[in-house]
């Protein structure tokens, strides 16, 4: 920000102006209402002291001033006021004209009030300058343009006045005090507001980064529940669990350098994440060289078994392309089983939304009997997806810890 307070980025400046003017509308309206109440008080009192001509002259000037204030009040209810800075210059120019008429009306009654035109000018213009110092919001440059113009006109008024030199010097000194005070107030309020806005913008940016990191770890709905202090535990009646394993990863680790191995593994997991997002599948976690995902869980409202198989087919095709590009032998085994699971977040560090239940264990065992670059599914998954994919005839296999299980292999 420069001395005259302005953000370098135009979009940032626009956001600041709109937000600051909106935030200070209640204070502006309060000042306007105070001004209107003050004029109504004088309009009520003047007939008791002023002659009829004086009352009329004052009421005309006060009426103009009040009309501008009322227009100001109505403008604060519009988007136009929030986004259009020159409206302040127009309003205070009109108020300056009304104030000049008001000073003349009061100066004509100097014998009654005991205040000369000189005195009326410094009092009323001083009040107007202070009001403007608060009323020009997020608008230091146009305030200075208005205030310096008014200051020049006031100096011209002093030069033309039939007063002694010392009287003019003291009057100018008094007015300059109003002018400097109001200018500093306008500049400092804007400076502080800009600093606060910049700090809030930086805070919001960091908050967005934190939320993005959190949403990369947890589904957005789950993250929101955790932030609300809720214990996250869910039961799902029908979720398709997908286990993906790289065949012969230990042998691959011996062939590649550590750096090359990690790079290749990272590319595979990025492929898996992309395929998961494409098919509405929720990544749960990686376990060594294995990838665990679900379809139909918290963050995957899509097609259950159908989405799981579509994800597996695309991942195998993409991985084969990766293997050709890297010049390494990468093959996958994918196992899918559908059934009930329990999901939730446990612990307070390194949070992750995980799933538990027999369905998870069975999917892991089904993956173990899949062919290289093949997808094996349980009967539960097969009956949900058979209308959408072709399968080999079912086989009854004995799975460790599960027993006899009917297995179907997806035709790729």
**Count of CB atoms situated within 10 Å of the CB of 225:** 17
Burial of 147 (0-12, 13-18, 19+ CB in 10 A): buried
Quote the mean pLDDT of the chain.
89
**Count of CB atoms situated within 10 Å of the CB of 11:** 8
Q: Report the pLDDT value the prediction gives residue 256, as an integer from 0 to 100.
A: 81
Share of the chain above pLDDT 90, in %: 61
Q: Report the pLDDT value the prediction gives residue 1, as an integer from 0 to 100.
A: 44
Domain 231-409 class, CATH top level: alpha beta
Element (H, E) at 409: strand 403-409
41 and 59 Cβ atoms separated by less than 8 Å? no
Distance CA 263, CA 323 (A): 13
Domain limits, the chain: 10-209, 231-409
286 and 292 Cβ atoms separated by less than 8 Å? yes
312 and 334 Cβ atoms separated by less than 8 Å? yes
Query: In the chain, which residues have pLDDT < 50?
Result: 1
Element (H, E) at 14: helix 10-23
Helices (H), 370-410: 379-385
380 and 239 Cβ atoms separated by less than 8 Å? no
Q: Report the pLDDT value the prediction gives residue 180, as an integer from 0 to 100.
A: 92
| pLDDT single digits (tens) 323-349 | 888 888 889 999 999 999 998 887 666
Q: Residue 40 in 3-state DSSP?
A: helix
* Beta pairing class for 395-399 and 282-287: unpaired
Q: Report the pLDDT value the prediction gives residue 38, as an integer from 0 to 100.
A: 93
- Sequential DSSP letters for 301-362: -S-HHHHHHHHHHHHHHHHHHHHHHHTS---EEEEEEEEEEEEEE-SSSS--EEEESHHHHH
Residue 308 has which token pair?
A: 């799981």
Q: Residue 218 in 3-state DSSP?
A: coil
Q: Report the pLDDT value the prediction gives residue 299, as an integer from 0 to 100.
A: 60
Q: Report the pLDDT value the prediction gives residue 287, as an integer from 0 to 100.
A: 87
Q: Is the pTM of this model over 0.75?
A: no
């Amino acid at each position: 920000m420069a001395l005259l307070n302005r953000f370098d980025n135009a979009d940032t400046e626009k956001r600041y102006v709109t937000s600051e003017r909106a935030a200070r509308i209640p204070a502006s309206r309060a000042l306007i209402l105070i001004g209107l109440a003050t004029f109504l008080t004088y309009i009520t009192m003047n007939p008791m002291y002023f002659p009829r001509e004086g009352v009329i002259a004052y009421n005309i000037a006060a009426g103009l001033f009040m009309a501008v204030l009322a227009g100001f009040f109505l403008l604060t209810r519009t988007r136009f006021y929030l986004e259009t800075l020159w409206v302040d210059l127009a309003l205070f120019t009109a108020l300056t004209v009304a104030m000049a008429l008001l000073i003349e009306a009061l100066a004509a009654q100097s014998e009654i009030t005991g205040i000369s035109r000189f005195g009326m000018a410094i009092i009323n213009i001083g009040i107007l300058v202070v009001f403007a110092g608060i009323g020009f919001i997020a608008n230091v440059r146009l305030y200075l343009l208005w205030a310096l113009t008014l200051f020049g006109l006031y100096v011209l008024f002093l030069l033309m006045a039939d007063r002694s030199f010392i009287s003019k010097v003291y009057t100018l000194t008094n007015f300059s005090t109003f002018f400097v005070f109001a200018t500093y107030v306008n500049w400092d309020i804007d400076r502080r507001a800009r600093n606060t806005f910049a700090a809030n913008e930086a805070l919001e940016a960091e908050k967005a980064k934190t939320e993005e990191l959190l949403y990369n770890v947890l589904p957005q709905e789950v993250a929101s529940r955790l932030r609300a202090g809720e214990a996250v535990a869910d039961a799902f009646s029908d979720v398709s669990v997908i286990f993906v394993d790289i065949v012969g990863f230990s042998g691959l680790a011996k062939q590649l350098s550590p750096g090359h191995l990690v790079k290749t593994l990272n590319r595979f997991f990025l492929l898996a994440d992309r395929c998961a997002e494409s098919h509405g599948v929720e990544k749960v976690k990686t376990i060594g060289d294995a990838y665990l995902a679900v379809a139909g869980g918290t963050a995957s409202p899509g097609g259950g078994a159908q989405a799981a198989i579509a994800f597996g087919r695309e991942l195998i095709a993409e991985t084969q392309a990766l293997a050709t590009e890297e010049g390494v032998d990468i093959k996958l085994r994918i196992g899918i089983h559908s059934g009930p699971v329990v999901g939730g977040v446990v612990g307070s560090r390194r949070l992750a939304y995980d799933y538990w239940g027999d369905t998870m264990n069975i999917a892991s065992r089904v993956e173990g009997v899949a062919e290289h670059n093949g997808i094996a599914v349980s009967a539960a998954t097969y009956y949900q997806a058979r209308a959408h994919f072709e399968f080999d005839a079912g086989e009854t296999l004995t799975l460790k810890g599960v027993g006899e299980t009917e297995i179907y292999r997806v035709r790729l």
